[in-house]
Structure 1
Amino acid sequence: MHTERIPPHPDVAALTLQRLLEALVDPVRRSIVEQLYDAPAEVACGGFDLPVGKSTATHHFRVLREAGLIRQYYEGTSRMNTLRRREIDAAFPGLLESVVAADRAERAAAR
């Protein structure tokens, strides 16, 4: 893996709850986080089920990466995504689990 093919990511020590929550306020970004939360491995940008076009999805991935929620790197020509779950859980215990559970409960109640 070439380091020039890895976009910049914030250090976990620089993460703030406000920045994470601002990134998670958007339902498309929460969907990305939820899909990564359930994924057994990294997921290519094109492997997500999203209700937006490619350029809008790219924006959402960038917001999540810059907030520190996801890590991205290239594998060939695919940009791969992984949730920084261990790092986020260590800094903000229970945050990701709570966000995913609340989003699922909200969707279930709307049915």
Structure 2
Amino acid sequence: MLRMTSEFRQESERKVAEEKAASARRLADTRRQTEEQLRKERQITDHIMNVLRELPPLQTAMELGDLALLEQELTKWKLEALPERFGEGKGVVEAVVKLAKERVVTWRG
């Protein structure tokens, strides 16, 4: 009886140790995934902040209808050389620059 109790206790301790190790692995994996997700979200936020910082002068020139100011702002924007700092917002930047170029053509008419 004592031997059975001892064996049962050892088996239980082994199972507890295995569960603790498995739990620690799951926790480490979850932390790694969370850190990776946060890194990606920060990168996307940085891209959005770059777009929000750099596009307003071009948009303002379009909204004001100032052809000279719009042409001046467009000299800063080359579609083929848009920097990677815009990330996924690059498509939005391209669309706004194309719209601005179309407005210049229309206004010169």
Q: Provide TM-score, normalisation by structure 2.
A: 0.35
Task: Flag the structure with higher helix content.
Answer: 2
Task: Flag the structure with higher strand content.
Answer: 1
Larger of the two Rg values belongs to structure: 2
Q: Provide TM-score, normalisation by structure 1.
A: 0.34
